[in-house]
Structure formats: C-alpha cells, structure tokens
C-alpha cells in the first residue's frame, strides 16, 4: 500500500485525491495547501489530514510518495523537500519553469534514490496514445511534421487559475504539446522559433502572452508547429480546443479532441461536454486519473514510473527556449544533452 501525500489542494490536487479514493494500493493520507481553507476542504472531502506547511506534513506523516500539484512556478521546493524525505514523486507538468529549478529537482531525486514521474497526462489520452502507437509501429512512415493546436477560453486565465500572470499559454498548454510532439515522433527538439502577441490579457491585469506560436525543429530536420492561446471567447462550446495532425511519409492522422462525439444544445447555448472525464459509478475517469493510478500501480509493483526526469527536463528546456525566442525574435537552439 502506497502512503501518499498531496502538496497543492486546488483543482488538480483535489482531483488526484478523488482519483485515488478507493483505488487499490493507494492510501492518501494528507493534503497541504498554503491556503488553510483549501487544505481543510480537501481534507474534509476525502478524510485526510490537513496542513499548510509541507515540511510539517513530511515530518509528521509516514509517506511513500508525494504528488506535487502546486502552480507551475512553485514545484521546486516541494519536490526537493519531498524527495529528500525519501518520497517518490509525481510532479505536475511542467517539471519546472526554469532550468535551475529542474536541475535542483533532478539532483534531489537522484541523491535520494527515489523515482519521479512528470504529469504529461496526454500520454494516457487514448487519441494521443494511438498517434504514438501508429507512429512507433511504422504505420505512418517517417513523421514529417505535426500541427498541434491547444488553446483555452478566457475563463482559464481570468477565472480558473489565479496565477496566470506568473505563467503563459506556453507553460500551461505547450508543455503538453511539446511532450506529445516529441513522444509521437520519437525525436529530440534541437531548435525553436517562436512568435506571439500580448496586450489583451494585460489590459485585464494579467500581464502574460495572449497567443504563442512555436516552430520546433527535431534532430532529423523534421518539424512541428504548435499554437496555444488564452483568448478564445467564452462562448466556445468547450473551455479547451485541442486539434492534432500528424503527417508521415506513408499516411496522416487527424484528431479532434474538442468534439468528442457528445454535443448538448440547451437554453444556455451549445456545448461539447466530451467523453474524457467525469465519473462512472462515482469514480473519476480520464487521462489525469489514469495517469495517477498508473503511478501508484507501478510503485506497488516495484516498476519504473514515467515519463520521468529526462522527459520533464527536456520539455522545460524547450519551453524556456520558446520564451527566449518570443523575447528575442530569434531562433533559439535547444541543447538538453548538456545537462549533468
């Protein structure tokens, strides 16, 4: 039985607690959040101990693993402290938002001899997994290019998360698609050329990028085009727009993850509720749930968890390069191989 603590009691932390409630091999014991009312609510909902200081939680609870579900920019200290306490880690994507933070987490994990999974949940998304399997199996031939659109409506930066100004569409969304593009193609990103625009969200007191476009070049000269925005109208039928195209030498595949075959028309407008989420018989379903359950199952079996530090650090390198290219207007090389 894996004794688990959760650091970060917001949307994701609460979802992970729900996903593991009653799951074989999982004993979620405690939740920590800097906001005491948040910690207390999650603790009350799922029968956990509540903390506002993760160091105290680590000291008082006998834990085997910790889920770090804090905001993008706030992973380092929680992950380093949990690893140093001998806990295996599941860290929300991105692993970190600076190379220095990623290196500090990696050093702590290796020094402690624990495992670390990075939460790239689309590796458990059936559609993206099928793209990977078809590519790896040779059905597409050599992957020549990918076009991936992953965007949110205004709701996400203005209402859903309170720390959007400390993030960006690149960190919040492209960390998903950078990982997916590398995973599906089986290639390594070597250069980034990014462009974008800002000002609309800044006028709403959220000073970050509105739109980001990134051209990734891989080590075999092939490419992927990524686009992410935080300025879709709230009248969209879904908060998330996710379109994925893979073009190979022999065939191409097209995925629409916004329209998942369920549509609802009613007095409040037209909606696409989607299939990859929600509950069945009181149990959560969908990629993030299947991901955290896989984390627990592999730990229980004594197996390697993943995607791990290398994949997480590589995505951080690429998204840092995207921001450097946005600021400079230049192509930025990516050299993940220089890590110690």
Look at residue 262 in the predicted model and tell me its pLDDT.
Answer: 84
Q: pTM value?
A: 0.95
Q: What are the DSSP calls for 45-114, one per residue?
A: HHT-EEES-HHHHHHHS--SEEEE-S-GGG-HHHHHHHHHTT-EEEEESSS-SSHHHHHHHHHHHHHHT-
Q: What is the DSSP letter of 124?
A: G
3-state SS class at 212: strand
The DSSP bridge partners found for residue 224 are: 146, 216
User: Which residues, listed in sequence order, are joined to residue 83 by a DSSP beta bridge?
Assistant: none
Q: Reply yes or no: is the peptide bond before residue 118 cis, omega within 30 of 0.
A: no
Q: What is the pLDDT of residue 260?
A: 76
Q: 329's torsion region: left (phi>0), alpha (psi -120 to 50) or beta?
A: left
Q: Which residues pair with 2 in a beta bridge?
A: 26
**Residue 175, helix vs strand vs coil:** helix
Q: Please list the ranges in the chain whose pLDDT falls under 70.
A: 336-340
What are the E-state strand segments in 46-186?
A: 49-51, 65-68, 88-92, 116-119, 143-152
* Among the listed residues 100, 109, 104, the one whose alpha carbon sits nearest the alpha carbon of residue 317: 100
CATH numbers and ranges of domains, the chain: 2-114 (3.40.50.720), 123-272+313-338 (3.30.360.10)
pLDDT at 337: 54
Q: Which residues pair with 146 in a beta bridge?
A: 224, 246
Q: Which helix (H) or strand (E) holds 3?
A: strand 2-7
- C-alpha angle with apex 58: 113 to 44, nearest 5 degrees? 130
Whether residue 92 contacts residue 29, with contact meaning beta carbons closer than 8 Å, is answered with no
Phi, psi of 130 (to 5 degrees): -65, -40
Residue showing tokens 């029968």: 47
CA distance 261 to 4: 36
**pLDDT tens per residue across span 98-125:** 999 999 999 999 999 999 999 999 999 9
């Amino acid at each position: 039985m894996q004794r688990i603590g959760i650091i970060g009691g917001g949307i994701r932390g609460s979802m992970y607690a729900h996903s593991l409630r009653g799951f074989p091999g999982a004993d979620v014991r405690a939740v920590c959040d800097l906001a005491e009312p948040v910690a207390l609510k999650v603790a009350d909902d799922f029968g956990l101990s509540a903390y506002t200081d993760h160091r105290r939680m680590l000291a008082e609870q006998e834990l085997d693993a910790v889920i770090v579900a804090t905001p993008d920019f706030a992973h380092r200290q929680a992950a380093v402290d949990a690893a140093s306490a001998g806990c295996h880690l599941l860290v929300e994507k991105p692993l970190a938002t600076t190379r220095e933070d990623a290196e500090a987490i990696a050093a702590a994990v290796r020094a402690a001899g624990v495992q670390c999974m990075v939460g790239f949940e689309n590796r458990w998304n059936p559609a993206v997994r099928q793209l990977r399997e078809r590519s790896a199996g040779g059905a597409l031939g050599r992957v020549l290019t990918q076009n991936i659109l992953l965007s949110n409506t205004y709701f996400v930066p203005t209402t859903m998360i309170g720390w959007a100004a400390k993030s960006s569409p690149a960190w919040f969304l492209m960390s998903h698609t950078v990982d997916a593009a590398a995973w599906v193609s089986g290639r390594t990103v070597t250069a980034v050329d990014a462009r974008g625009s800002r000002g609309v969200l800044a006028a709403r007191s959220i000073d970050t990028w509105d739109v980001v476009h990134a051209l990734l070049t891989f080590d075999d000269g092939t490419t992927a085009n990524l686009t992410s925005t935080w300025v879709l109208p709230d009248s969209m039928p879904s908060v998330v727009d996710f379109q994925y195209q893979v073009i190979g030498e022999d065939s191409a595949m097209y995925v629409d993850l916004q329209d998942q075959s369920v549509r609802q028309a009613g007095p409040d407008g037209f909606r696409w509720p989607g299939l990859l989420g929600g509950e069945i018989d009181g149990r959560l379903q969908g990629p993030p749930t299947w991901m955290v359950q896989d984390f627990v199952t592999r730990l229980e079996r004594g197996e390697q968890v993943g995607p791990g530090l290398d994949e997480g650090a590589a995505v951080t390198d690429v998204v840092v390069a995207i921001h450097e290219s946005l600021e400079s207007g230049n192509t930025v090389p990516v050299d993940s191989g220089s890590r110690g």
